[in-house]
Amino acid sequence: MASEAARFGAVALLCLAAVAIGHWATAAALALFFAVVAAVVARREGPPLRQARAQLIAAEARYRAVFEHSMVGMVRATQEGIYLEVNDRFCAILGAPREAIVGHSFKEFTHSEHVATDSAAVREMVSGERRNYLNEKRIVRPDGSVVWVMVASMLVRDDAGRPDHFIGVYEDITDRKRAEAALRESEARFRLAQEAAGVGVWEIDLDRDVAIHSPVSQRMNVLPERADGVYTRRELEAHFGPELSAEVAANLADAIQGSSYDSTYRLNPPDGITRWVRAIGRHEPDEDGGRGRLIGVSVDVTAFHESQTELIAAHEKLLGVSRLSSMGAMASTLAHELNQPLAAATNYAEVARAMLRMRRDPADAKLLEMLDQTVAQALRAGDIIRKMRSFTVSGEIEPEREDVEALVANACTAIEERSRAAGVTIITDVDPGVGEVMVERIQIEQVLANLLRNAIEAMQGCEDPHITVSARRRPHDVLLCVADTGPGIPPEVLGHVFEPFRSSKENGLGLGLSICRTIVEAHGGRLWAESPPGSGAIFHLALPSAREEAAA
């Protein structure tokens, strides 16, 4: 009877163990055996003992079938941890035959890191401090390979309550552990990629009314850092302020209705450093009828926004320089053109004054005085014009060391939209060691941009239009060339392309190339044009190198 009671308890505990690790089929079979044994014991006082024992034998057979053919490993062990019997599945998990396991301690197959914990649990169950033990651990096979298992262990006691033996249920969870490790590694790589790319990930749970931000997104939005990344709507509204919160809420509402979310917003955190953030996301409906969630990414676009602002400012400055240069070139041209008639007027006045003096007529005194004033004012006007022309030619530039490659890149960027719209390809060919020149950056970039614009306009209607911008270092200067594949410049026009007010364009003023040459010459350089027969135009720009300037 005592052995039957022990077996009865063992079956009950095995059933509980199977439930603990989630094997419901095994638990159901054990529960059936449990019910049969319970019925037999309940009728002990009624039917003859022989019939009861027959039923117990049948139940024992069912128990043995479940034990041997279970999909999980099952063992019985002494209270010292020595295996008494094991099933086939446990042998398969351990990778050893039954005779290599029975009679051996569980410690021989348990990874060294788990032995102390398991031994402590055994002592606690024997002493009655705990009833069972559920644990994930590694076991070491005889061939040295390691297997992860989930173990449910329980102590069976006899009718007197004394420890009798242990039973255990083992499930191989190696694949699950590998999947978990792969997931952790994937998440680590994903987070590393986020950090490297500066991309923040966020999620808005519409049912919980909370947002979850990755560490990158937290830093990007200057949020107080949290391990779980969870923030309530009220917290975010207080952080972003009412105006930005209302804008974000409106965009999110549109996204929930079916459109994607794409918003760029400005942050003004307490550190005083303005940040621009672009957030892109979409709505994912909830299949269970909830409101779903919004998921997306955030990118810090501060540098891009600042570069755009700087580019606009540079273009405005270029326009200002262009206007000033146009005025200067016009003033220089007017000064040159006015000098001749002023000189002639002065000569005529001098001759008239001399003739009146030869007459020696007192009545001419007043007229002589007026002629004297005329000559003086004409000479004064000439001095003013000469000074103005000298000023416009000198240019009053403030040169600095500038990288040639950067000058070319900035000029190409300035006309990028125009070239793209015209279908023109710009090719840059700058020698790596071309170095620096001493120039005023904005003015030289204006010259290059103007040459590029002229080339684009000259190639309208041409097949495969492209421009090559090259830069080469020469012994005493740097030579930049802008060559196009247009129709070229007619010989009769080539000698006059730099003269003011001469233009081949229908609405042109004829000041662009004249201003360019004035600017280049003010830098101590040269600007000239070539147009080989059957080829496009080539404009050459020579500027003193920074090293030559330093040596001078």
pLDDT digit string (tens) for 124-159? Answer: 999 989 888 888 999 999 999 999 999 988 888 888
Contacts of 389 (CB under 8 A, 6+ apart): 331, 332, 335, 336, 339
Among 255-259, 368-372, 437-441, name the one with the lowest average pLDDT: 255-259
Domain with CATH 1.10.287.130 in the chain: 305-394
Instruction: Kindly report whether the global pTM for this prediction surpasses the value 0.75.
Output: no
Q: Write the single-letter amino acid at 309.
A: T
pLDDT for 552:
45
Q: What is the mean pLDDT of residues 49-58?
A: 64
CATH topology of domain 400-551: Heat Shock Protein 90 (3.30.565)
Q: What is the mean pLDDT of residues 468-474?
A: 93
pLDDT for 298:
86
Domain with CATH 3.30.450.20 in the chain: 2-172, 179-300
- CA–CA dist 229, 212 (Å, integer): 5
Decide yes or no: CATH 2.40.30.10 for domain 305-394.
no
Specify whether the CB–CB gap between 398 and 440 falls below 8 A: yes
- Chain-centre distance of CA 436, in angstroms? 32
pLDDT for 527:
94
Decide yes or no: CATH 3.40.80.10 for domain 2-172.
no
**Surface-to-core class of residue 178, CB atoms within 10 Å of its CB (0-12 exposed, 13-18 middle, 19+ buried):** exposed
Average pLDDT score, the chain = 79
Task: Express each pLDDT in 238-249 by its tens digit.
Answer: 888 888 888 878
Which of 254-263, 307-316, 404-413 is modeled with the greatest confidence?
Answer: 404-413
Task: Express each pLDDT in 441-464 by its tens digit.
Answer: 877 888 898 899 999 998 988 888
Share above pLDDT 70 across residues of the chain, in percent, rounded to a whole number: 75
- CA–CA dist 459, 282 (Å, integer): 45
Domain with CATH 3.30.565.10 in the chain: 400-551
pLDDT for 390:
52
Kind of pairing between the strands at 275-284 and 261-267? antiparallel
Decide yes or no: CATH 3.30.450.20 for domain 179-300.
yes
pLDDT for 391:
45
Give the H/E segment covering residue 413. Answer: helix 404-414
**Surface-to-core class of residue 230, CB atoms within 10 Å of its CB (0-12 exposed, 13-18 middle, 19+ buried):** middle
